[in-house]
Structures are given as C-alpha cells and as structure tokens.
A and B are shown apart, each in its own frame.
Chain A
C-alpha cells in the first residue's frame, strides 16, 4: 500500500512537471531544431524550415548553429527566387546573432559580407547610396580594441604593480625606493587608464542594444513621425538600438540617428 502511494505521488509529480508552464514554453533542443528544419529544407519546404528556426528563437532559445542555419534558410529562399522583402536583412540578422554567440565563426562573417555586398550592388543598380556598413562611434571603437575582460585583466595587473610598488617604496632606500616610485607611477597609470577602459566598455555595452534592418530600406523619422531628410538605412545594416517608444525604435547608424518603425528592425538578443 505504501509502495502504491509512493508510485502515485511520483506519477503526480511527473505529470505536474510535464504540464508545467516552463515545459510548455521551453524551446526544443538545438539538435532537434536542426534536424526538423533540415528535413523541411531538404523537402523544399523553405517556409516551414524558417518557421522552425523562428519558433526556437520565440521560445527563448539561443545557439550559434541554429542562428547560422536560419540565415541560410532565408538565403535559400532568396536563391530560389522566392524572396520576400527583407529576407536579406533577416539572413544578416541571423548571421549577426551567430557572431554575437560565437565571435570567431568565420563562415558567418563571410556570409554577412556576401549579403552586404549584394545589398550594395542592388543599391548601386538603383542609383542609391552604396554605403552598407559604417564604423562604430569613436568611444565604442576605442572600447572594442580589445575585449572587456582584457581591459579588466590589464587593470588588475596595474593595480597589483601599484600595490607592490607602494609597499616596496615605504620600506626601502636608494635604488630600491626609486624602483618603487617608478613602479607606483606605472601601476597607477595602468590602473586608472585600464580601469577607465573597462568602465567604458561596460557602459557602451549597456547603453545600446544591437539590431539589423530587415526592410528594403528604413527611413529615419523625427519624434513627430516626419522624415528627417537623411539617406535611408540600407537593408542588412547593423544599427545601435538606443530606445523603444511604443511602435518605434530610436536607432543610430554611424552619425545618423532617428526613429524607425519597430517592424523594420530586428533587435538582436544579447547572449546569455
């Protein structure tokens, strides 16, 4: 009787777990997504293939290989001649996500370059602006010279040098004290400068999100919805997402800043 009661409790717990909101909302595993999506793509069902990838993202999943394949699925539709407006942008967004999750994914970077090249060619054919990528703002460019962790490590080394030098210089005389003084100066400089760069890198990372234009072009608008009169942002351009107000996003691309409708930019989710 005791055994039956235990079994019943176990079954009840299993049932509750199976139908818990978490399980209902959880994404399929990346391996399952790749298998099902590849099978649909092999069949020629490109729309279904894309939807399987997008469902993984909608459920909160993140994996560089799934993002990479999602980009290829959109490109497959373009190559088939069945492209919908914005497919190149959506493919670019997928490859940008791949690089955010795995920065050294070379095929993703190559695909991104190919897409932006195609966008530039299209713009040139239509007599438009061929600029498809711009450099980051100076502060971000400086902060991204090395990774944030690298700045932090150098800053810690500087702090260590400063600490040791301060100790040496207190209790030493002559040449040793001179060495302590020099070490203190170097350590202080490293701590202050590299600590500042660490803070700058963190600030830049938090100040703006990332997005990719998924419309053939995105016109920048002012706060009242009127066009700003600057060249439109090209498809597949990576933009900084500064703010969201209702159905519009405040974005920055190089020196250009303005509002765009929400549906024209795909906001990239930060890793983690």
Chain B
C-alpha cells in the first residue's frame, strides 16, 4: 500500500472517531488516540502526557513524554517535571522544540512548544505508576494525570491492539510518513557526521578503532545506530560473524550515551548499540561480518519481526600481520599481545624427594590474556598440567584481568633445587617491541633419597640412535648442478653445431665455385670471352691468334642462341641451318661474310684483323644474341 492509500485509510479511520478532522502542515504534532489530554481554556497551553511504548519487557526502558503547546504570542510554559516512585532512577527530561500550524473550519492557528521525554528503566515483571507530570505557565503549575507502565516478562509482550480488527493494515500516527522537525535530544558530536546517510530512516554504522593489527592484538568494533526522526527499540539482533577472531563482548562503555549529528542538514540520533573486542587469530585480510537488528517504533516499518525495520551494518576488514621476526624472543607464541606482569608463590619450600609442591602463578594485564605459561624444564622436576582460573573484564575499549595458574610440581632429586623462572614473552602493541614478563621461583630444599626409577615396559625403538653431535663438521653447500651452469648448453651443442656449420659452409663454397666455372663454359660465355681474348691479342700484336678468337666468338654466339653448331657444318650448309634456326637472311649473310673474312685473314691475306674488326664482330655477336628462339 503506497503512501497516498495509507493516508486515506488513516483519514477514514480518524473520521469514525469523535475528534474533529485536522489537516496538519509538515511541522506538526498532534494528540493520539489513547493519550492523556487535558480539556483546557482557549488560551492555556495544550498539554499531553503519554506513554510512548505501552508494553515493555523487563530490562527494556519505558519512555514517557509530556508535550506542551501554547499559542504564539502567549507566555511560554517552562520547567517540566515528572513524579516517579521513590528509588526509581529516571533519565531525562530531554527537551525537543515543536511548532504546530493547523487549519480548522477555515481558521489558521499556530502554536509553539516542546516535548519533554523521560526514560524509565524496568527490571522485573509488574507495573510502574509514573506521574503526574507538571509544567509552570504564567505562574501556575499545570499538572497531568498519572500513567501506568505494564512490564511484561521477557518474550511475553502482547501484540499491539488493532481497534479496527484487521480491517486496515497496522498503522500508527497520521504523520508517520511525514518528516518531523529536528529534535534536540542529545549533544551534537561531529565525530559521527557523514556526508550522506547510509540508508533512509535508520542505519547501522560499524566503526573499528584500528584497521591494521598484529595477530592477537585487540581490535574494537563499535556499532552505532543512526535513526531519524526518533529513537527506536531494537529486537532480533544478529551478532557479527568473525570466524578468524576470538571475541569478547564489551558490556559497558563510558561513551554509550545518545548523541546527535547533522547529515545533509537533517538531524539524526546516534546511539552505540554494540561494542565487541576482537583478537585476530591469524594473519591476512580478515573480515568481520555484518550485525543486524530489527527496529521497532513509530516510523520504523519493514519486513522484520513485528513488522519492524531490518537494518544491517556493512562488513569490515582488518589487515593482520605477524609481529616482526627480528628480535623475536625464544618461546614467543604467536598471538601473545598486550601488557602483562607475572607474580608467583611457591609452597612449601621444603619437601621430600618424590613429593610435590604447589606453584601458583598470576598473570595480570591487558589484552587476550594467554591461557598457558612456559614452565621451566630440568631433570628431576616434573610440572603437571595446571588448574586455571580467570577473572577477565571487557569494558570501554579494553580487555583486562588475570589468569591464575596453579601447578603441582614433583621433585625427585634431593638437594637445593632452583626452580628457575616462569616467563611469558609477548609483543607490546603500545611500545611496538617484544617484552618478557617473568618471575623467579626461587629454591626448594628436597630432602631424603631419590626414589628408584620405574623401568619402562616397552622397549625404546630409538635406543640405537647415536647421541647428539657436539661439533659442527665442515660443510660446504652443494654447488649448483653442472646443468645449471650458464655455459653448459652452449658447450654441449656448440661443438657439433660448429663442425656442422663449418662443413655446410665448405660445401656451399664448393658449390658456388662449381656453378661459377660452369657458367664460364657456356657458349654465350665463350663468345664473350673470345672477343675479349681477340682484343687482348691484337693489342699484343698477335693478330693470327686473334683470328681464331673472332671465329670462335661467332660460332659460340650462334650456338648459344640457336643451338646450331656451325663449326661442324660445311659453308654451304651453314646458311640453310641458320635460316632453319630462325636467323634472318641479312644476319645469316653477315655471319657468312664474317666467316669468309676470317678465312681470308687466315689463308690469303697478310693483313689481319684490327680492333675495328673486333668491334664489328662484337656488334654481330650482340645481334645474334637478339635472335628470337
């Protein structure tokens, strides 16, 4: 059902009563059904004295409030008082200013005033009569009737009476969904301010005194309830879950009183509802789970028990480390953190051999007081398990107290036995260093004769083991295996790879040389070489051998381009062969003429070829090289 429908339902409900319908402004307070109201002359203040929570359970606090409103411009009422039974310790009054503007039958009127609230503690089932309440106005004492508070046994509070027998959903005041004016109930404490409320109407805010600690160090979690507009009763609490911590509930706190804080211009009530001491059990990022409660009262409606509003705090995390390893005393047990002192008494100081004495040690201090002590060890002295008693308190922001250890110690060796000392190494979080709480136990005179040792029935399986080594023999840490040396794999593979690489290089080189020499013996290569050779021989005046070179150049060029071996053909056969191979007539004729000239130089003429002939032959070879295949 939304706000509008609920308002209509309430209006209808109010209409069946005999009260006039009054439409309120946003700053209003009004009389409720069941209140004690006085019929007053027109200018006198309107006074209402009421019980805020009709049914309380033993242990809860009841609340009564006296509302006094006077017309603006008239004398104010002052000095509210409440008569209470003798011996009842009542807190209050807490004063809240009020303003009321109303429109009745077309007339607008404004009133101003206050509400004085008292909290009355209850401890047992029964009834408490409180009142009358009174105020002073214009020199007169205005007095109300008394009220009776019904205190029920825990868990037996009756369900709220619904006068409409279930016709309408449970609702309270007409103004429950409308914001109320700021209430000046408690001192303002900016430490609890926030930029935004975590949730509307009410929320739980967890606060740790520290977010970093060592294993075993005290961490305090305080859970604050923020409510607005009024304070609420709590039901169905669920404690925070913290499996990585040992916890102790802190039962009292000096700073538990309600406060007020402003968030976004709106006043909120702040109240400490739970304080717990946590001791982390291991290192890491350790989480403390949420706490949840159901809030009951006007303005706190939801899906919780009795239709209350359920609110949960956010989980919190503590970063936990170990105390430093450097300087850690021998025998330190992780988690022993705090401030401790030890004292001890020994009795009797004289005993027969084989008899027992009692050693009582008291460990006092702050922190999670350890549950065991290091007892001294020596031959002939046996410490039995102690009886332990504790007296530990958790209040404000500390856990302190004592543990008493009572040991029975058996002494078997006669003589003056120095019992040694009891010691407790611990980490002092305040001084940030290790300390040792210790106490010397002194000497005990053991008289008589040592009792005969009892032979063990079972054989010792380890009897054959050698004794402890008395000296440290020479030891050199083993070197890294050969395979870990950085050069190992290089050496392993380098040799064969180097040989293979050298071999491959040699083969490659030979192949290149062969290919290169093959290239030199091709017909085309021979042609070019021959021309160069002819030129060289002419320059050295060896014309006769140049003739052969020129001829060879022409033959090789034709063979290289066409595959025709002219050297093996008769002159008459050359032209047809060249033509068949694709050489045109002009070129073939020129080739023939060139060959005839070489014959002429060789056999008929005293002249030989010249350098110009070499050039023309080179041109001829080039033209042969362009013949289409």
Q: Do A and B come from one complex?
A: yes
Listed in ascending order, the chain A residues whose CB lies under 8 Å from chain B are 21, 24-25, 29-31, 33-35, 37-38, 41, 43-48, 51-52, 55, 58, 62-66, 68-69, 72-73, 75, 78-79, 101-102, 107, 110-111, 114, 117-118, 147-149, 151-153, 155-156, 159-160, 162-163, 166-167, 170, 187-188, 191, 195, 198-199, 201-202, 205, 246-247, 271-272
B495 at interface by CB-CB < 8 Å: yes
Whether A114 contacts B462 in the complex (CB less than 8 A), given A30-B472, A148-B481, comes out as yes
Interface contact B482-A78, CB-CB below 8 Å:
no
Q: Which residues of A contact B327 (CB under 8 A)?
A: 24
Query: Known contacts A29-B472, A65-B473, A159-B492; can you find 5 more A-B pairs with CB under 8 A?
Result: A44-B378, A55-B330, A114-B465, A166-B499, A187-B496
Q: Which residues of A contact B491 (CB under 8 A)?
A: 156, 159
Q: Which residues of B contact A55 (CB under 8 A)?
A: 330
Task: Please report whether the interface of chain A is mostly helix, strand, loop or mixed according to DSSP.
Answer: helix
A33 to B378 alpha-carbon distance, docked (Å): 19
A52 to B331 alpha-carbon distance, docked (Å): 9
B159 at interface by CB-CB < 8 Å: no
A195 to B480 alpha-carbon distance, docked (Å): 17
Interface contact A271-B469, CB-CB below 8 Å:
no
Whether A31 contacts B472 in the complex (CB less than 8 A), given A21-B326, A155-B492, comes out as yes
Looking at B374, B464, B482, the one whose CB has the most chain A CB atoms below 10 A away is B482
Whether A63 contacts B483 in the complex (CB less than 8 A), given A114-B465, A272-B478, comes out as no
Interface contact B492-A195, CB-CB below 8 Å:
yes
Interface contact B326-A153, CB-CB below 8 Å:
no
Interface contact A34-B377, CB-CB below 8 Å:
no
A191 to B493 alpha-carbon distance, docked (Å): 8
Q: Which residue of A lies closest to B503 (CB)?
A: A170
Listed in ascending order, the chain B residues whose CB lies under 8 Å from chain A are 282, 284, 325-328, 330-331, 374, 376-381, 460-462, 464-473, 475, 477-478, 480-484, 488-489, 491-493, 495-496, 498-500, 503, 506
Whether A34 contacts B470 in the complex (CB less than 8 A), given A48-B330, A201-B481, A272-B480, comes out as yes
Looking at A33, A41, A72, A188, the one whose CB has the most chain B CB atoms below 10 A away is A72
Q: Which of B460, B472, B473 is in CB contact (< 8 Å) with A79?
A: B460
A43 to B489 alpha-carbon distance, docked (Å): 55
A43 to B381 alpha-carbon distance, docked (Å): 11
Interface contact B377-A117, CB-CB below 8 Å:
no
Interface contact B377-A43, CB-CB below 8 Å:
yes
Q: Which residues of A contact B478 (CB under 8 A)?
A: 101, 271-272
Closest-CB distance, A32 to chain B (whole angstroms): 9
Q: Which residues of B contact A199 (CB under 8 A)?
A: 483
Closest-CB distance, B543 to chain A (whole angstroms): 50
Q: Which residues of A contact B282 (CB under 8 A)?
A: 247
Q: Which of B331, B376, B496 is in CB contact (< 8 Å) with A162?
A: B496
Whether A43 contacts B379 in the complex (CB less than 8 A), given A153-B482, A159-B495, A198-B483, comes out as yes
A188 to B497 alpha-carbon distance, docked (Å): 11
Interface contact B499-A149, CB-CB below 8 Å:
no
Whether A166 contacts B503 in the complex (CB less than 8 A), given A72-B468, A152-B488, comes out as yes
Q: Which residues of B contact A162 (CB under 8 A)?
A: 495-496
Interface contact A62-B377, CB-CB below 8 Å:
no
Q: Which residue of A lies closest to B461 (CB)?
A: A118
Closest-CB distance, B9 to chain A (whole angstroms): 52
Q: Which residues of B contact A75 (CB under 8 A)?
A: 462, 465
Whether A147 contacts B495 in the complex (CB less than 8 A), given A21-B326, A68-B469, comes out as no
Q: Which residues of A contact B469 (CB under 8 A)?
A: 34, 65, 68-69
Q: Which residue of B lies closest to A52 (CB)?
A: B330
Q: Which of B325, B379, B470, B481 is in CB contact (< 8 Å) with A58?
A: B325
A118 to B458 alpha-carbon distance, docked (Å): 13
Q: Which residue of A lies closest to B484 (CB)?
A: A202
Interface contact B475-A64, CB-CB below 8 Å:
yes
Q: Which residue of B lies closest to A167 (CB)?
A: B499
Q: Which residues of B contact A191 (CB under 8 A)?
A: 492-493, 496
Q: Which residues of B contact A102 (CB under 8 A)?
A: 475
A33 to B472 alpha-carbon distance, docked (Å): 9
A117 to B330 alpha-carbon distance, docked (Å): 33
Interface contact B484-A43, CB-CB below 8 Å:
no
Interface contact B475-A148, CB-CB below 8 Å:
no
Q: Which residues of A contact B467 (CB under 8 A)?
A: 72
Q: Which of B472, B480, B483, B495 is in CB contact (< 8 Å) with A163?
A: B495
Closest-CB distance, A164 to chain B (whole angstroms): 9
A33 to B374 alpha-carbon distance, docked (Å): 21
A187 to B478 alpha-carbon distance, docked (Å): 30
Q: Which residues of A contact B496 (CB under 8 A)?
A: 159, 162-163, 166, 187-188, 191
Q: Which residues of A contact B475 (CB under 8 A)?
A: 30, 63-65, 101-102
Interface contact B483-A45, CB-CB below 8 Å:
no
Interface contact A111-B330, CB-CB below 8 Å:
no
Q: Which residue of A lies closest to B482 (CB)?
A: A152
Q: Which residues of A contact B484 (CB under 8 A)?
A: 202
Interface contact A160-B495, CB-CB below 8 Å:
yes
A52 to B467 alpha-carbon distance, docked (Å): 17
Q: Which residue of B lies closest to A246 (CB)?
A: B284
Closest-CB distance, A39 to chain B (whole angstroms): 10
A29 to B471 alpha-carbon distance, docked (Å): 11
A73 to B465 alpha-carbon distance, docked (Å): 12
Can you show 16 pairs from A to B with CB atoms below 8 A apart? A24-B327, A34-B468, A34-B469, A43-B378, A44-B377, A47-B331, A48-B330, A79-B460, A110-B464, A114-B461, A118-B461, A156-B492, A166-B496, A170-B499, A170-B503, A246-B284
Complex A-B, nearest 5 residue pairs according to Cβ-Cβ distance, in ascending order: A44-B379, A163-B495, A30-B472, A152-B482, A148-B481
Q: Which residue of B lies closest to A71 (CB)?
A: B465
Closest-CB distance, B327 to chain A (whole angstroms): 7
A137 to B491 alpha-carbon distance, docked (Å): 30
A205 to B484 alpha-carbon distance, docked (Å): 11
Closest-CB distance, B419 to chain A (whole angstroms): 13
Whether A107 contacts B466 in the complex (CB less than 8 A), given A30-B472, A43-B377, comes out as yes
A208 to B470 alpha-carbon distance, docked (Å): 34
Q: Which of B330, B464, B483 is in CB contact (< 8 Å) with A151?
A: B483
Closest-CB distance, B49 to chain A (whole angstroms): 61
Q: Which residue of A lies closest to B325 (CB)?
A: A58
A37 to B467 alpha-carbon distance, docked (Å): 13
Q: Which residue of A lies closest to B491 (CB)?
A: A156
Q: Which residues of B contact A247 (CB under 8 A)?
A: 282
A65 to B470 alpha-carbon distance, docked (Å): 9
A51 to B376 alpha-carbon distance, docked (Å): 13
Closest-CB distance, B511 to chain A (whole angstroms): 16
Closest-CB distance, B383 to chain A (whole angstroms): 11
Q: Which residues of A contact B284 (CB under 8 A)?
A: 246
A190 to B469 alpha-carbon distance, docked (Å): 44
Interface contact A51-B492, CB-CB below 8 Å:
no
Closest-CB distance, A23 to chain B (whole angstroms): 11
Interface contact A62-B483, CB-CB below 8 Å:
no
Q: Which residue of B lies closest to A70 (CB)?
A: B468
Interface contact A51-B483, CB-CB below 8 Å:
no
Interface contact B472-A65, CB-CB below 8 Å:
yes
Interface contact B472-A63, CB-CB below 8 Å:
yes
Interface contact A45-B492, CB-CB below 8 Å:
no
